[in-house]
């Protein structure tokens, strides 16, 4: 008891000290007369002018030119109809931001002044009081300019931007020794050229799912920092796990403090984590200039440390770490950050029964199957991406049982709130560096700015436990290996050398120096260690025996699992669909029925090459099923939007389930799949794409399907040589004994014609286990008059008589060939009109009561413009009555929801 009391007293004392030290969460502290750094933030309203002065307006900072013009009513919504083309002039002009600011007499007494620019987009010259202080050429860098001696009581700052389009063209033209492809995007994308010559979001020059908006502006914070002795520029934490004795788990935290020092200072650094009763003080000497101080804080051995786990694997534990720096001269700096304890290992080792190497992640020593998607920028204009927008998208990922997102290399390094939310939700991040689908120059100036970019981003982001891997680029190893750009054989070595120079000798070198706690890959896809052995560019980076793969096939049957690569890790795969009709209408198409051949669709919102993507699905069996049901439908209507989402959802479901069940088996030397990240999670605007969440946050049918196929435990079926196989796929942390319950239905009846429960099968934690196997012919032989066309199979898993995980289904033929599939009478009404089908409010959510008179595949509820999500959607309705919960994200009412609600199923789309 005395020991317990001593520990509690110690904890209270440390907690009290932390409260005194950390009265503010900001690095710039709050101790009178001992303040190290004072900050004058320059966010807010600036004046914005174009090059010839014909436009002058007020512009918000952070922000961009397009947003300022829109807010002042000088342009319409850039996403409206053809405005991405109509407003091209904005990106071709040069723009200048300016404002005045004042310094108090007290602030002017400081000895050192820095202008800190967290994000300038992209090529600019900065001046203060008419004196040029520096230039920028990289939107991903933090720029710090010494402005000591330039500042007065009243000051004028100007940031003059050069058109990113013009700059990229100039840089390309100056590179005369050899071409660096690609010059321009495909013509169908309506984009700008030479994106690879500027350190800017590559997709801002257009992509196959998004528009060309090469923005200019001050897109992140800008401020003046004043101090006398030193300032803290970065504070990073890295958990270090030590286990010399198997019976003792010991953690330490490596804390790095990066300083900009004006004059030498001697003092002490105190680090403390009150929750773990841990504190230690270190001596420190700060030399003038930029410096790094590293300290190792051992965690109190008597305190249990709760590790950080991915979503679905455990808790996302985080601890506050306090820092106090105190010099002999009485200068004090206080800061705090969060630290999480977790380890990550990328395992690449021989696989029994297979050539090649494994490719999977261990988190805290536990193999984890990575389930999730790929993230692109949530808007072409980053000032519109608020913390609420990020929260909704990331919460939607977690709600769909995802544990991983890949931040794709053609976009941006996301804002701090993005990674904070991922830390909180347990969403692991595969972090690309921002290079994608192109070759890049390697002149010294380009390498220099890239090095500064990488150093900054790693230091800024490395403390986040959610980030589990750094990857050098998107698809550039494959671009060289498979000769995307038709490079003559005699010149290919030039580009291979450039590749190694950029991603290996520079980016990899920096990452290994700055962050030894995570693995690094030079590219995605890649063969990993095998690519390294082959000089960093493998002969076939898509080899399923190694690394990760990207796979797309639109001309083959997406129902046929034998066409999918049995890869070690699937980091990209997917199918397109239209967004909902209500989302399309937000960009104000000219009619309520939109023909896909109209210019507004083919040119404005659909930038995928090869017949603009839309017709690419018509050869797939599932897409043809939709057309068989809908013909003679000729226009983009609500029905076609739903049907396209059915196709997308079912195709991605089939492929994802293939990867999920491949985790524990090797077939023909392939398998042991340990990751499925489909392309893509979110949209950048209101157009057809591969996303599962529409622009604005609305879930497509695919996202509802993901909620099931990424469930912690689920049954998955396939047919192989006329034999039905059902696997139990488990991400649970314990072994379970499960039986498979099978129900066979005739399409024309809502009563099963056959019900069967298998014997129990032991399913190990984190595995896919074959739980049922039977020839289809034998199964149907016990079901009366069932045939492949007249019947379907549903199934679920049970533990001790109770259902565990979602139910699933297996179509014995394509629904377009189904016999007895009827057009159902689906209904949902207000309670006062009907006691059988109702919409009712229950607290902050709503229940929607459905009824049908026939089996209804892919029942779809659409709440129109009422923002929110349903508990489930796109489901197979096998009962006459069903209740579904709606979770609104905005205030609504029973009558509003009932009025907006639309209810369809596959057979009612025509």
pLDDT (tens digit per residue) in 660-688: 999 999 999 999 999 999 999 999 999 89
In this prediction, residue 246 has a pLDDT band, given cuts at 50, 70 and 90, of low
- Which domains, ranges and CATH numbers included, belong to the chain? 37-224 (2.60.120.260), 229-339 (2.60.40.10), 344-588+611-700 (3.20.20.80), 713-817 (2.60.40.10), 826-908 (2.60.40.10)
Q: Is 287 in a helix, a strand, or coil?
A: coil
Percent of the chain scored above 70 by pLDDT? 89
Nearest to 570 by CA among 372, 791, 276, 273: 372
283-to-265, 333, 340, 832 alpha-carbon distances in Å: 11, 15, 25, 75
Average pLDDT over residues 261-273: 94
Average pLDDT over residues 231-249: 82
Q: Phi and psi for 169 in degrees, rounded to 5?
A: -65, -40
* Residue that the structure tokens 């300038």 belong to: 120
pLDDT of 34 reads 58
pLDDT (tens digit per residue) in 29-64: 333 345 678 999 999 999 999 999 999 999 999 999
Q: Which residue has the higher pLDDT, 250 or 409?
A: 409
pLDDT of 575 reads 93
In this prediction, residue 622 has a pLDDT band, given cuts at 50, 70 and 90, of very low
What single DSSP character describes residue 778? H
Is pLDDT at 730 greater than 50 in this prediction? yes
In this prediction, residue 609 has a pLDDT band, given cuts at 50, 70 and 90, of very low
- Beta-strand runs (E) in 633-766: 666-667, 670-671, 675-678, 713-720, 723-730, 736-746, 754-757, 761-763
Q: Which helix (H) or strand (E) holds 496?
A: helix 492-499
Specify burial of residue 891 (Cβ count, 10 A radius: 0-12, 13-18, 19+). exposed
| Cα Rg, the chain, nearest whole Å | 29
Of 202-211, 446-455, 604-613, 889-898, the one with minimum mean pLDDT is 604-613
Active site residues: 475, 572
In this prediction, residue 639 has a pLDDT band, given cuts at 50, 70 and 90, of confident
* Residue that the structure tokens 């005369």 belong to: 176
pLDDT (tens digit per residue) in 74-102: 999 999 988 999 999 999 999 999 999 99
pLDDT of 907 reads 82
Is pLDDT at 15 greater than 70 in this prediction? no
Q: Chain-wide mean pLDDT for the chain?
A: 90
In this prediction, residue 641 has a pLDDT band, given cuts at 50, 70 and 90, of confident
Average pLDDT over residues 719-735: 96
The model's pTM: 0.93
Is pLDDT at 365 greater than 90 in this prediction? yes
Residue 295 CA to residue 274 CA, distance in Å, equals 18
Of 71-85, 316-330, 491-505, 551-565, the one with minimum mean pLDDT is 551-565
Structure tokens at 272: 């403390």
pLDDT (tens digit per residue) in 406-422: 999 999 999 999 999 99
């Amino acid at each position: 008891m005395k020991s317990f009391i001593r520990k509690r007293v110690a904890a209270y004392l440390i907690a009290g000290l932390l409260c005194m030290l950390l009265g503010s969460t900001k690095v710039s502290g709050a101790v009178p007369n001992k303040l190290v750094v004072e900050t004058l933030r320059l966010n807010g309203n600036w004046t914005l002018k174009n090059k010839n002065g014909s436009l002058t307006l007020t512009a918000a900072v952070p922000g961009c030119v397009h947003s300022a013009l829109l807010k002042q009513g000088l342009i319409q919504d850039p996403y409206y109809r053809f405005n991405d083309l109509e407003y091209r002039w904005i990106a071709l002009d040069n723009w200048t931001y300016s404002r005045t600011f004042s310094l108090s007499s007290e602030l002017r007494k400081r000895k050192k002044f820095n202008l800190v620019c967290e994000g300038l987009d992209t090529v600019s010259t900065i001046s203060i009081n008419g004196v040029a202080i520096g230039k920028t050429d990289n939107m991903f860098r933090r720029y710090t300019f010494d402005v000591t001696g330039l500042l007065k009581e009243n000051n004028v700052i100007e940031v003059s931007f050069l058109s990113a389009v013009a700059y990229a063209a100039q840089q390309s033209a100056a590179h005369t020794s050899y071409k660096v492809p690609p010059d321009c995007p495909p013509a169908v994308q309506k984009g700008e050229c030479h994106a690879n010559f500027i350190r800017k979001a590559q997709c801002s020059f257009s992509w196959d799912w998004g528009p060309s908006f090469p923005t200019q502006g001050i897109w992140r914070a800008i401020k003046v920092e004043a101090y006398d002795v030193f300032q803290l520029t970065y504070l990073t934490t890295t958990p270090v796990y030590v286990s010399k004795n198997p019976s003792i788990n010991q953690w330490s935290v490596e804390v790095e403090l990066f300083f900009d020092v004006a004059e030498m200072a001697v003092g002490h650094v105190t680090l403390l984590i009150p929750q773990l009763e841990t504190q230690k003080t270190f001596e420190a000497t700060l030399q003038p200039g930029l410096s790094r101080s590293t300290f190792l804080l051992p965690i109190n051995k008597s305190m249990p440390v709760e590790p950080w786990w991915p979503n679905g694997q455990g808790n996302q534990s985080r601890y506050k770490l306090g820092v106090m720096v105190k010099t002999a001269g009485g200068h004090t700096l206080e800061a705090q950050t969060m630290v999480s304890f977790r380890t990550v290992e990328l395992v690449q080792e021989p696989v029994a029964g297979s050539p090649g190497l494994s490719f999977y992640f261990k988190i805290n020593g536990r193999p984890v199957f990575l389930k999730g998607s790929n993230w692109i920028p949530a808007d072409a204009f980053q000032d519109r991406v608020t913390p609420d927008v990020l929260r909704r998208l990331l919460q939607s990922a977690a709600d769909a049982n995802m544990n991983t997102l890949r931040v794709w290399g053609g976009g941006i390094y996301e804002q701090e709130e993005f990674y904070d939310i991922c830390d909180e939700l347990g969403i692991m991040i595969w972090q690309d560096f921002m290079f994608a689908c192109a070759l890049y120059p390697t002149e010294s100036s380009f390498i220099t700015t890239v090095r500064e970019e990488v150093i900054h981003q790693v230091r800024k982001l490395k403390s986040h436990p959610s980030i589990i891997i750094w990857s050098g680029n998107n698809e550039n190893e494959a671009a060289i290996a498979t000769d995307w750009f038709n490079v003559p054989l005699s010149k290919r070595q030039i580009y291979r050398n450039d590749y190694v120079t950029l991603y290996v000798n520079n980016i990899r070198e920096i990452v290994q120096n700055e962050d030894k706690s995570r693995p690094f890959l030079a590219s995605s896809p890649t063969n990993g260690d095998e690519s390294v052995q082959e000089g960093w560019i493998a002969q076939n980076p898509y080899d399923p025996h190694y690394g990760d793969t990207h796979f797309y096939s639109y001309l083959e049957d997406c129902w046929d699992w034998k066409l999918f690569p049995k890869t070690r890790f699937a980091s990209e795969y997917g199918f397109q669909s239209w967004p909902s009709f209500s989302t399309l209408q937000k960009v104000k198409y000219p009619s309520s029925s939109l023909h896909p051949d109209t210019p507004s669709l083919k040119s404005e919102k659909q930038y995928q090459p090869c017949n603009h993507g839309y017709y690419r699905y018509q050869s797939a069996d599932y897409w043809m099923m939709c057309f068989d049901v809908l013909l003679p439908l000729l226009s983009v209507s609500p029905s076609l939007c739903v049907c396209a989402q059915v196709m997308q959802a079912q195709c991605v479901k089939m492929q994802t389930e293939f990867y999920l069940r491949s985790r524990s088996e090797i077939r023909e030397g392939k398998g042991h799949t340990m990751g499925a990240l489909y392309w893509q999670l979110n949209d950048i605007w209101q157009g057809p794409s591969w996303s599962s969440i529409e622009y604005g946050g609305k879930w497509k049918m695919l996202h509802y399907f993901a909620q099931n196929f990424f469930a912690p435990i689920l049954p998955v079926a396939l047919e192989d040589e006329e034999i039905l196989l059902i696997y139990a796929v488990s991400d649970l942390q314990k072994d379970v004994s499960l039986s498979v319950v099978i129900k066979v239905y005739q399409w024309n009846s809502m009563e099963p014609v056959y019900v069967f429960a298998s014997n129990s099968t032991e399913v190990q934690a984190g595995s896919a286990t074959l739980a049922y196997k039977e020839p289809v012919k034998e199964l149907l032989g016990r079901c009366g008059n069932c045939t492949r066309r007249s019947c379907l199979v549903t199934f679920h898993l049970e533990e001790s008589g109770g259902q565990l995980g979602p139910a699933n289904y297996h179509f014995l033929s394509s629904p377009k060939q189904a016999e007895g599939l009827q057009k159902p009478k689906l209904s949902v009404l207000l309670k006062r009109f009907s006691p059988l089908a109702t919409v009712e409010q229950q607290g902050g959510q709503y229940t929607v009561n459905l009824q049908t008179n026939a089996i209804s595949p892919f029942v779809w509820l659409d709440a129109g413009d009422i923002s929110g999500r349903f508990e489930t959607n796109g489901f197979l309705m096998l009962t006459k009555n069903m209740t579904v919960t709606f979770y609104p994200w905005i205030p609504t009412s029973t009558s509003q929801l009932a009025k907006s609600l639309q209810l369809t199923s596959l057979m009612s789309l025509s």
